[in-house]
Structure formats: C-alpha cells, structure tokens
C-alpha cells in the first residue's frame, strides 16, 4: 500500500531531518507524521485525519495546545487539502510528505497507487503532469528544497523517458 506504515515512517524521518536543520517542535512533528494519514480512506483525508487525531490525542490526555498544533499539521499536510500551513511544523510535515512523492520512491508509489486503484498508464502520466512534477514548487523549507533537487531531476528524467518510449511504439 502506498500510504502505509513505511510511508509514515519515511515521512517522519524526513520531517525530523528537516526539523533538525530548520527548527520546530520535534514532538509535534513526530506525532503529526505518525498520524498524518490516519484517515486516508476518507475523501478529504487531511481534514478528517485532523478530527480523528484531535479525538485520539484528547483521550490520551495531551494538552490542548499540543493537540491544536498537531491537528493543524495534519490538516495542512496534503497537496490537495486547500489548507495553507501556518506554522513551521506544518510546513515541515507538508514538505516531508511531498518529498516522499518524489524521486524513485515517488515513482514507485505512483505506480503502486495506480495498481491499487486499477488506473491506466495514461492516468499515471496525468498524475505526473498534474501533481508530481509540480511538487518542488510547493515546498516551504530550504532543507526540503535542497533534498528535492535530485529527486525532482530523477522524476523529470523518468517522465521524459516514459513519454519517449510510449511515442516510439505509437508511430
């Protein structure tokens, strides 16, 4: 699965790496990364995930301030949620999640996701064009932008080769 524990673990490690260089509360970042895809099966998983996380964290006795910060990270992490990250922690989580959709891992996840959903190769190409190739332009932190450089180059090269190979058999 593309949004499984391995994805959450990579996002958490990336987020903590970025936080070491950029600042931010590592406790908020770690909790938000662990819970960021808790509602992945919902239409707007970021908003619904924040609601689920709020309830879960409140039941576990976390402070209202901590809950608010974690929930904002979750609701603002998604490329398509429409919620702008307002805190450094939210920007870091958003960046880490985007980084995991780039490079070799991002390519593998795009095809895994397509397979999970029964999507065609053409639909994967559209996903590259509408989302993956644009991700680097929506990063917030300098650390993430640096990490994204090579991942984005690889993504572009793969996309170009894929398009060229499709054209070769289409003439």
User: The CATH number of the domain where 120 resides is what?
Assistant: 1.20.58.1910
Judge whether 64 lies within some domain. yes
Q: Please give the backbone phi and psi of residue 14, each rounded to the nearest 5 degrees, phi first.
A: -65, -45
Distances (CA, A) of 46 to 12, 49, 63: 16, 5, 21
61-115 pLDDT tens trace: 999 999 999 999 999 998 777 889 999 999 999 999 999 999 999 999 999 989 9
Whether residues 83 and 23 fall in one domain: yes
What range does the domain containing 40 cover?
Answer: 5-90
Whether residues 77 and 11 fall in one domain: yes
Judge whether 31 lies within some domain. yes
Residues 6+ apart with CB under 8 A from 101: 79, 109, 110, 131, 132, 135
User: The CATH number of the domain where 68 resides is what?
Assistant: 1.10.3210.50
Judge whether 164 lies within some domain. yes
Judge whether 97 lies within some domain. no
Q: What is the reported pLDDT for 83?
A: 87
Judge whether 60 lies within some domain. yes
Whether residues 82 and 24 fall in one domain: yes
Length of the chain: 171
**Selection from 160, 138, 157 nearest residue 148 by Cα:** 138
Q: What is the reported pLDDT for 2?
A: 52
Domain count, the chain: 2
Place of tokens 């919620």: 83
pTM: 0.92
Q: What is the reported pLDDT for 53?
A: 95
């Amino acid at each position: 699965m593309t949004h499984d524990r391995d994805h959450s673990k990579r996002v958490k490690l990336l987020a903590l790496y970025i936080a070491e260089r950029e600042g931010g509360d590592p406790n908020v970042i770690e909790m938000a990364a662990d819970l960021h895809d808790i509602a992945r099966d919902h239409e707007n998983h970021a908003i619904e995930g924040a609601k689920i996380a709020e309830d879960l964290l409140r039941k576990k006795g976390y402070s209202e301030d901590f809950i608010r910060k974690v929930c904002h990270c979750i609701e603002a992490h998604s490329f398509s949620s429409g919620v702008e990250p307002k805190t450094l922690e939210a920007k870091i989580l958003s960046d880490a999640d985007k980084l995991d959709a780039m490079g070799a891992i991002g390519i593998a996840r795009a095809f895994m996701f397509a397979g999970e959903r029964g999507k065609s190769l053409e639909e994967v190409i559209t996903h590259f064009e509408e989302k993956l190739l644009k991700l680097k332009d929506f990063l917030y932190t300098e650390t993430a932008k640096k990490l994204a450089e090579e991942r984005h180059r690889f993504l572009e090269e793969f996309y170009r080769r894929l398009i060229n190979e499709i054209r070769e058999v289409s003439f």
